[in-house]
Amino acid sequence: MSDLIIGTAGHIDHGKTELVRALTGIDTDRLKEEKERGISIDLGFAEFKLPSGRMAGVVDVPGHEHFVKNMLAGATGFDLVLLTIAADDGVMPQTREHLAIIDLLGVDQGVVVITKADLVDEEMLELVREEVRGLLAGTTLEGAEVVTSSAVTGQGIREVAEAIDRAAERAKPRSLEGPFRLPVDRVFTLKGIGTVVTGTLWEGTLKDGSDARILPAGRDLRIRNVQVHGRDVREAHSGQRVALNLPAISVQEIARGDVILSPGYLSSSTQAFARLFLLPQAPRPLKQRSRIRFHHGTAEVMARVSLVEPQDEIAPGGTALVLLRLEHPAALKFRDRFIIRSYSPMATIGGGIILDSHPDRRSRKSRGLVSELEVREKGSPTDLVRLVCRTRASSLSLGEVVSLTEISERGVESSLELLLNSGDVQPIKVEGKPRYIAADSLASWEERIADLVREFHRDKPRAAGMEKETLRSKLGPQLGPGTFEAILAALQAKGAIDIKAGVVSAGGGGRRLSATEQAEKDHVLEAIRQGGFGPPLLRELQERFSLDQKKARDLVSILQEEGVIEPVNQDLYLAAGKLEEAEELIRRHVSQTGKLEVGDLKSLLDISRKYSIPILEYFDRKRVTKRVGDYRVLV
């Protein structure tokens, strides 16, 4: 069974630290100022062995309203909460604020401890219990056990521990598999060791010597030493309080709010779509583009809230889909919880859940956006994988689907198997590697390609087909080159298109010549064949058969593609085989005489100078001959 994190919550001086000391024997007030003032200012930590033997880390948070920021730095890692309410005070402002934070963060397991029971009588205790039941109604802690205790007399301490054990059994276990993620809550330096950071390991397993990355800075590093509650360990698991030695990092290069995680796992973002809830006790509506304090993990970032749906504000107690625009990057992930506080005066006013940590660049009013976000909010992992495949025009690798959904690789593999079986997603091979594309996207691309090729043949019936790159450019940048090639190959296998020498045509032959054009092509071929080594030039063919320049060039191009004529230059074409015959005659003549003059070629081929010069220049370009003064020799 995995370890878990227990957090405290409650108003200042309601006995959080004393309760932790009674349970664990550890005083979590570590700062000199905390000792002098008798209050918790920053986070405190302790190790707690539950009656069942299960190990837990305890995060003791400050209760003073001035230090809610510090409380939030610890609260986002809680698996279970101890909400303390002093018997002589009852429910106070920070009791309500801390409970609201716990509720917004979705912490649904906890124990409510009525502390300082030795200071009041039974009648007062019953009134406080009644007040607590009303306080918890409608929150994630509704139905939580309520235990009465006194750290001074020891009353109820064992019962608190037992109640924690029962709540821990119900807490959702953390996954020990996959990449690790640790939000940093403390940074300090130790003489002879260097920089040390601590935090709650949210996900995965972290090993001594692991490569890691710091976000949002994006700096890579290696972890040299891992500790759990002061003990060196070879690896730490999610749900544990962890200390890491970072020998290559100075204390100025890392701070609370940074995240240490597996390289390549997540990337920083300055925008995110989210579902936001505004607390009923929020003092005023949250208006469009309001500036707020965004708390995520151990980080606090200033941000602005843009409402996605057509509304101008969120009323207290209301909810809305929003786009969060952060003033500094943060390491966000799908389904992470967050808290927002008003800019001034500072007060907790709401929170929510991240739905898309790296949104596309698109308008908040773009068509289909709301329905996509609702799928992200309420859909299953399979729904999310289907959505990502449909909204990405090109194909995706397994790793890209994992990155875009931000769910586990195992979850993505299971979802893809279901979608492949249902036919919603199709597999394709790109450069020999498997990729995935939505079936309707694939069908749409195939239809567009076929339509473009048909349109091309309609507009240019004498052309063999479209150049591949011309076709791809008309499809737009969304379709990656590898996916484009895979779709072409699939269409060719179906017989829908033909591909030859980089030219795409309709299946069964793309060129569509009319009877007149076919006859004209035959006449041109016959004229070239009858001309031998001196056939009509292209302009002469135009005149003889009354062809415009474009049609004449189209017809000789077709004949060239068919392999029945060969170009000497752009104006002179010979029947297939004539150039080979000419080369043989030239080589034989030069072998016998040592050289070839223009007049020699005229005699050999029975042609005029009009043809002999272009033919000689052709063989010069082909490096059969080379010119030396007024004659040619073999190369």
What are the tens digits of pLDDT across the range 537-592? 999 999 999 999 988 998 998 898 889 999 999 999 999 999 999 999 999 999 99
How many C-beta atoms lie closer than 10 Å to residue 325's C-beta?
16
Complete DSSP assignment for 504-517: EEETT------HHH
CA 189 to each of CA 33, 193, 245: distance values in angstroms, whole numbers, following the listed order: 20, 7, 9
Confidence of residue 459 (pLDDT cuts 50, 70, 90): confident
Report the residue count for the chain: 635
Helix (H) or strand (E) holding 278: strand 269-278
**Largest Cα–Cα separation, the chain:** 131
Dihedral sign for Cα 411, 417, 421, 422, please: positive
Report how far residue 213's alpha carbon sits from residue 263's, in angstroms, rounded to the nearest whole number.
5
pLDDT (average), residues 211-231: 92
DSSP-based three-state secondary structure for 47: strand
CA 79 to each of CA 163, 183, 407, 511: distance values in angstroms, whole numbers, following the listed order: 14, 15, 20, 69
Complete DSSP assignment for 321-374: EEEEEEEEEE---TT-EEEEEESSS--EEEEEEEEESS--S--TT-TTHHHHHH
Which fold would CATH assign to domain 578-634?
Arc Repressor Mutant, subunit A (1.10.10)
Report how far residue 202's alpha carbon sits from residue 76's, in angstroms, rounded to the nearest whole number.
9
Instruction: Compare 29 and 216 and report the one with higher pLDDT.
Output: 216
Residue 199 predicted with pLDDT over 60: yes
Q: How far is CA 154 from the centre of its chain?
A: 52
What are the tens digits of pLDDT across the range 101-120? 999 999 999 999 999 999 99
378: left (phi over 0), alpha (psi -120 to 50) or beta: alpha
pLDDT (average), residues 468-474: 93
107: left (phi over 0), alpha (psi -120 to 50) or beta: beta
CA 23 to each of CA 89, 116, 167, 324: distance values in angstroms, whole numbers, following the listed order: 22, 15, 16, 41
pLDDT (average), residues 131-153: 95
Confidence of residue 173 (pLDDT cuts 50, 70, 90): confident
Complete DSSP assignment for 146-200: EEE--TTT-TTHHHHHHHHHHHHHHSPPPP-SS--EEEEEEEEEETTTEEEEEEE
Report how far residue 59's alpha carbon sits from residue 228's, in angstroms, rounded to the nearest whole number.
14
DSSP-based three-state secondary structure for 292: strand
Report how far residue 151's alpha carbon sits from residue 153's, in angstroms, rounded to the nearest whole number.
6
**pLDDT recorded at residue 510:** 61
Q: Class for domain 269-369, per CATH?
A: mainly beta
Confidence of residue 13 (pLDDT cuts 50, 70, 90): confident
Residue 27 predicted with pLDDT over 60: yes
Which fold would CATH assign to domain 4-170?
Rossmann fold (3.40.50)
Give which of 619, 589, 623 is closest to 603, Cα–Cα: 589
Domains 4-170 and 578-634 belong to one CATH topology: no
Q: Where are the domains of the chain?
A: 4-170, 181-261, 269-369, 515-575, 578-634
Give which of 48, 45, 50, 96 is closest to 74, Cα–Cα: 45
Phi, psi for residue 119 in degrees, rounded to 5: -95, -10
Per mean pLDDT, which range of 54-63, 376-385, 390-399, 601-610 is the poorest?
54-63
Residue 63 predicted with pLDDT over 60: no
Report how far residue 563's alpha carbon sits from residue 574's, in angstroms, rounded to the nearest whole number.
11
Residue 5 predicted with pLDDT over 60: yes
CATH code, 515-575: 1.10.10.10
DSSP-based three-state secondary structure for 503: strand
Give, as one character, the DSSP assignment of residue 295: E
**pLDDT recorded at residue 31:** 47
Residue 364 predicted with pLDDT over 60: no
What are the tens digits of pLDDT across the range 590-601? 999 999 999 999
Residue carrying structure tokens 């001086």: 13
Highest mean predicted confidence (pLDDT) among 313-322, 343-352, 400-409? 313-322
Report how far residue 115's alpha carbon sits from residue 338's, in angstroms, rounded to the nearest whole number.
29
Highest mean predicted confidence (pLDDT) among 37-41, 245-249, 452-456, 537-541? 537-541
Q: What is the architecture, at CATH level 2, of domain 181-261?
A: Beta Barrel (2.40)
Beta partners for residue 1, in sequence order:
none
Report how far residue 206's alpha carbon sits from residue 245's, in angstroms, rounded to the nearest whole number.
13
Beta partners for residue 353, in sequence order:
275, 337
Instruction: Compare 301 and 310 and report the one with higher pLDDT.
Output: 301
Q: In degrees to the nearest 10, what's the CA dihedral of 201, 204, 209, 214?
A: -60
Number of helices (H), then strands (E), in the chain: 19, 34
Phi, psi for residue 484 in degrees, rounded to 5: -55, -50
Report how far residue 491's alpha carbon sits from residue 116's, in angstroms, rounded to the nearest whole number.
77
**pLDDT recorded at residue 9:** 92
pLDDT (average), residues 351-376: 83
